[in-house]
Structure 1
């Protein structure tokens, strides 16, 4: 049974890659950034590009810092309203990943005007508006262009107290790692594109990708939460590696403890794996040690690009119960401790 809408129009047929699987491969991105020229950094810029963090943070005064981020991509699903919801949730997540509160968004809309009906484009925008309303923020403007592929996303701004900014580089030795959402979105999207995803799988995918990472704000108020990021296009291993490199410490992930979306192991075994998964591994696999017990399917799950993925929290061992309680109170019942921060050098080890 396929979860594809009955309409002949398939949004995913317009895109060469969907969701956060559209990201430039990590190895290529690193080469591009190496060649970029340096520039003067004002002292007010608390977070820039130096650790590949989730958003930029600029200190306004002693009580407020501005968070600025943007995210956009091609369709990951065929339903236009769901596409808009997913893209908006994903973009807003970066503000929560810095420990902030979103305050405003601008829409980025690029559409093949001669190929997509106006009402379809309207539904994409309405989907994004519905998530912004859930987050309590307005879409205050934006920009539109005629494009070969449909692209939708947001620029999002937020506020945070300067002392509560949660970077991805501040993990500490002995910290426990907590993942807020299960993995497998890329695998579900690959099955959907090949019309092999059933209705239950589609619903699980939508529920996961449209759940706002609101616990980020409450987590920023916990003194024992040292580092925070969200898992998106580079997969769990890629974003864990960014956290590791930022702190200069190693990370151990316990594969049996990593939460997975229903059915994704079976789908991956059947070959429903995105090309981005292999590109991710090619980009950072040299810094990851997989124990012999880790299967190729498990490797694919760990490198699977997550669109609107979960928060990855590095916290003191004595704060784990509080962190899990924050997640549970806000409906993130799959949140789990998946590993810990170990001694240097930087790198990720996965145990079976």
Structure 2
């Protein structure tokens, strides 16, 4: 579902179902965060989310692993740790069931890598395969990461390169090169587990992950929730191999244009930013990295800890001024 349609549905729900928050609900429908949080006691809160989608790559095992990493990313974006998951499966009746075995194996092994376990799930018949997870994790009630905590002077850090959307779209159109797809799959299967743990340790002020609304869509969610502007530097952005080439081939998904139409009014572009680069900034991502807001000194500590752990991270912008996004070279 595109951002405009989703915003309409959520707005109507708020009108039709006035909020009566339960005292244990720490994060619910009242805020556009990545997962729900329900407090159990002074030390523990449940954090829960669900995500599923059609195949983005041809290999069933990789598809399952990518879908699992993507679903668990919402838990990490809240600063949580994964505990268990339930499979969500839609599968055509005439398709070889061994394909589903590979999908489920890829997901189960990725959840195990996260430190969790798959405990069951639900299946339905459908004309197109779809797969994902309902994920449950835990988080300390005083250490929840949200979109709304960015402060003036904070820097914005990204923990995975961009380009999965345009590359997987190119794959569907037989325009992607094998080495480009291989690299994109590796990034999409990479967990945000270490980044989330080190973000909490490094005093991150705010967080979200980059998925279907693209970099600018998810950055705007942080800007709007935090009430502070963002200057984004295109020259600092990391790209997957092949992202620029696939963009030159115009391998853009339909969701990109929906993202651009909805978020463009909140974005000011430097005149030097060309249309192809702008399009990539709205490109829907699958299992993207975390976007994290830090005080500059804490960002330095986070980058150092990430490097020590063998994980990448890039400073891509700064929070300042009135709400809105300025994109500069």
Q: TM-score range by the shorter chain?
A: over 0.9
In structure 2, the partner of 1:338 is: 316
TM-score computed with the length of structure 1 as normaliser: 0.90
| Counterpart among 251, 258, 263 of residue 279 in structure 1 | 258
Partner of 2:201: 221
Residue in structure 1 matched with residue 132 of structure 2 by the alignment: 153
Ranges in structure 2 where 5+ consecutive residues have no aligned partner: none
Conserved in 2, the CA contact under 8 Å of 1:74 and 1:149? yes
Q: d(CA) in 2 for partners of 1:248 and 1:82?
A: 39
Aligned pair 1:144/2:123, yes or no? yes
Partner of 2:153: 174
8 Å CA contact 1:27–1:284 kept in 2: the answer is no
Q: Indicate the SS of the match to 1:82.
A: helix
Q: Choose from 139, 144, 151 the match for 1:165.
A: 144
User: What SS class does the counterpart of residue 163 from structure 1 fall into?
Assistant: coil
Is 1:60 the counterpart of 2:17? The answer is no
Q: Which residue of 2 aligns with 1:127?
A: 106
Does the Cα contact within 8 Å between 1:28 and 1:283 map onto a contact in 2? no
Measured in 2, the distance between the counterparts of 1:52 and 1:216 equals 19
Per the normalisation by structure 2, the TM-score is 0.96
Query: Is the contact made by 1:51 and 1:242 (CA closer than 8 Å) also made in structure 2?
Result: no
Does residue 258 (structure 1) correspond to residue 237 (structure 2)? The answer is yes
Q: 1:233 to 1:330 in 2, by over 3 A?
A: farther
- Tell me the distance in 1 between the aligned counterparts of 2:58 and 2:241: 21
Q: How many residues align?
A: 325
Query: How far 1:325 moved relative to its partner?
Result: 2.1
5+ long unaligned stretches in structure 1: 1-23
- Aligned counterpart in structure 2 of residue 79 of structure 1, from 59, 65, 88: 59
Counterpart contact for 2:148–2:226, Cα < 8 Å: yes
Write out per-residue CA displacement over residues 90-143 of structure 1, whole angstroms, 9 at most, x where no aligned residue. 0011111111111110110111122x1011111111111110111121101111
**Counterpart of 2:319 in 1: which secondary structure?**
strand
The structure-2 alpha-carbon separation of the partners of 1:50 and 1:294, relative to structure 1 and needing over 3 Å to count, comes to farther
Aligned residues of 1:51 and 1:168 also touching (Cα < 8 A) = no
Indicate the SS of the match to 1:35.
helix
Which residue among 85, 88, 113 is the counterpart of 1:108? Answer: 88
SS at the partner of 1:68?
A: strand
RMSD: 1.1
Q: Distance in 2 between matches of 1:95 and 1:330?
A: 20
